[in-house]
Amino acid sequence: MQPAIRLGPEKQRQVLVCRGTGCESQKANHIFFNLQKEVDKAGLADSVEVKFTGCHGFCQQGPTIMVMPAGAFYCNVTPDDVAEIVETDLQKGKPVERLLFLDPRTGDRVLDYRDMRYFTPQRRIVLRNCGFINPEDIDDYLAAEGYEGIGKALRMTPQEVIDELKRSGLRGRGGAGFPTGMKWEFCNRSIADQKYIVCNADEGDPGAFMDRAVLEGDPHSVLEGMMTAGYAIGATKAYVYVRAEYPMAYERTLIAIRQAKDRGFLGDNIFGSNFSFDITVKLGAGAFVCGEETALMASIEGKRGMPNPRPPFPAVKGLFGKPTNINNVETLANVPVIMTKGSDWFASVGTEKSKGTKVFALAGKISYSGLVEVPMGTPLREIIDDIGGGIPNKRKFKAAQTGGPSGGCIPAAHFDVPMDYENLTQLGAIMGSGGLIVTDEHTCMVDMAKFFLTFTQKESCGKCVPCRLGTKKMLEILESVTKGKATIEDLDQLVELAEDVKISSLCGLGQTAPNPALSTVRYFRDEYEAHILNRECPARVCIDLMKFEVNEQKCKKCGACFSVCPTRAITWKKKEVARIDRDKCIACRSCYQVCRYHSID
């Protein structure tokens, strides 16, 4: 991760307070206001700038604070820690040791975030400004070469801009990975009196929060990407479609648009050119299917968000029947950098067919959840073990789930796979929007597939039969597997049905909904068989298959289960094997989780 320090001439130091959703929900706002107050009180206001920023990425130990240029990175900060930070670090120039990141691998506190193993393998292009600039201040973005990309683009012809994008090799970050330059070219070729640009900020699957973080941390880069796209295809109007669950991203995008308008970056005759461009923000209303582009457009038009068959493609007939270009947030945030630094520079990062970087939202059974950006082709092992700090509680890696409800899993056997579009597709997983959920041996893969299918089944809009009924039937089969009521024939039927739904559904939601089931059957068939043939859930997640009996051979008579049981269903005396009274047991699994000897079945 490259430092991106931009100090005003008079300020010697900056304190950067992360106020992304994760940190903000843990009182980062109090920390920010306390800091401002304390810095004033200490008479440091002339030399120290206190600034709030978007996501630093290290969400696991939030709220986080960075002191620049020294690079001190304070974790798990509370509002009460502020006085000490001001006194020790800002006044005496010594880091507050106890709040620095403690690397469990070395046992040392890390003085500079640039030496943290969470950050060193990262390469930040999309998140270049996230965590360093104030997302609500256009001047901060301008100081970071903001709006220089569009300035350069306006001195080129639209075709030259498209060619530059094509040479860069940038592909859509929303999931399918379609080359962005080609998409722009299609829309450029369509002839119409009005064309539209749409930024899809409703694409994130559950567990993927990078699009939100970009809009919260660096909204102007997305606006600039949209302007460049608008110039390239000849569109003058644009929409940002933000999902309802992201109120902060919505607010900050609105602020950014207002500021850009005030400065004349949006509006008529931008930078004295013939190019005019206007952006409107639309707030989604809570329908997952609206991440699909034709459904999204229906929603903007004020209709039920249901998809339409393609062709005609949006590039020919899209929003309000006019040619429309739809790109994802992360894709658009790449565009300004490609314009300023050139396509050769961008194409030098990544693999042969997947250029640039990818932002992953790392979560689940991992030591450090958060937002990471790595070059395409980085091995999964490096992302999980080096950056993510591995699996906690000395447990074993089982699989990584990518692409959420549209994706699949990568099992331990493929732990070294370089993460790019081609490799993931080959493994039956997809890049998706970049959610990366890590599971360990305590995660049941049947339950995982059931979870995703419950979601897609609920979110299926009901327009086409394969998705509406197929997902329901598949879910019923998975439910019977987790209850121990399925037969081995059901498993074959599940796979057959999944293949049918995949090829016959109308839109991306249905076409990808079977992936989690197909992928888990492919790699974890033994787990399905254990549920069906042995009536056993190896991960002990499926409650209907648990016996709640103490294995007398394995029990070490420690009494841990006895003390956690909320209903006193367990009887135990010192040096005696514990017993569970099934009449009192409510199957809460507390005893199972606390038992270190796996002696509860």
Partner 1 sequence: MKDELQEVFSRHHGSRDALIPVLQDIQGKLGYLPPFAMEAAAKFCRMSPVEVYGVATFYAQFKFNPVGRNTIMICQGTACHVMGGVRVLQEVMDLLGVRPGETTPDGRFTLETVACIGACALAPALFVNKETHGRMKPEKIAEILDAAGN
- Residue among 96, 144, 448, 532 that touches partner 1 (CB under 8 A): 448
Task: Please state the closest distance from residue 533 (CB atom) to partner 1, in A.
Answer: 25
Compute CA distances 594 → 463, 560, 590, 599, whole Å. Answer: 46, 7, 6, 10
Calpha distance 481→474 (Å, rounded): 11
Binding of residue 548 to partner 1 (CB under 8 A): no
* DSSP-assigned letters across all residues of 140-167: HHHHTTTTHHHHHHHTS-HHHHHHHHHH
- Residue among 101, 132, 184, 246 that touches partner 1 (CB under 8 A): 246
Calpha distance 253→355 (Å, rounded): 27
Closest CA to 336 of 406, 284, 401, 265: 265
Closest CA to 325 of 431, 231, 246, 218: 231
Pairing of strands 237-242, 278-283: parallel
Calpha distance 468→577 (Å, rounded): 50
Q: What does residue 374 show for φ and ψ, rounded to 5 degrees?
A: -130, 155
- Residue among 451, 502, 535, 594 that touches partner 1 (CB under 8 A): 451
- Report the residue number, 200 or 401, with the smaller CB distance to partner 1: 401
- Residue among 286, 309, 312, 321 that touches partner 1 (CB under 8 A): 286
Calpha distance 289→287 (Å, rounded): 6
Stretch that binds partner 1, among 71-79, 177-185, 444-452, 470-478 (CB under 8 A): 444-452
Task: Please state the closest distance from residue 21 (CB atom) to partner 1, in A.
Answer: 6
- Report the residue number, 461 or 513, with the smaller CB distance to partner 1: 461
Calpha distance 252→4 (Å, rounded): 21
Task: Please state the closest distance from residue 299 (CB atom) to partner 1, in A.
Answer: 7
How many residues bind to partner 1 according to rule CB under 8 A? 54
Task: Please state the closest distance from residue 596 (CB atom) to partner 1, in A.
Answer: 18
Binding of residue 282 to partner 1 (CB under 8 A): yes
Binding of residue 439 to partner 1 (CB under 8 A): yes
Binding of residue 59 to partner 1 (CB under 8 A): yes
- Report the residue number, 70 or 255, with the smaller CB distance to partner 1: 255
Compute CA distances 426 → 40, 380, 419, 498, whole Å. Answer: 57, 15, 11, 18
Binding of residue 524 to partner 1 (CB under 8 A): no
Peptide bond into 219 cis (omega under 30): no
Binding of residue 363 to partner 1 (CB under 8 A): yes
Query: Which 60-79 residues touch partner 1, going by CB under 8 A?
Result: 60, 62
Task: Please state the closest distance from residue 60 (CB atom) to partner 1, in A.
Answer: 5
Binding of residue 144 to partner 1 (CB under 8 A): no
Q: What does residue 416 show for φ and ψ, rounded to 5 degrees?
A: -95, 10
CB atoms within 10 A of CB 304: 13
Q: Tokens 């270190």 map to which residue? A: 596
Tell me if residue 531 falls in helix, strand or coil: helix
- Report the residue number, 184 or 592, with the smaller CB distance to partner 1: 592
Query: Which 181-240 residues touch partner 1, going by CB under 8 A?
Result: 204-209, 212
x/- site string to partner 1, residues 394 to 433, per CB under 8 A?
-------x--x-----------------------------
Amino acid at 473: K
Query: Which 316-335 residues touch partner 1, going by CB under 8 A?
Result: 320
- Please report, as ranges, the residues that interact with partner 1 according to CB under 8 A: 21-22, 25-26, 59-60, 62, 204-209, 212, 244-246, 282-288, 299-306, 320, 361, 363-365, 369-370, 401, 404, 435, 437, 439, 443, 448, 451-452, 455, 459, 461, 566, 588-589
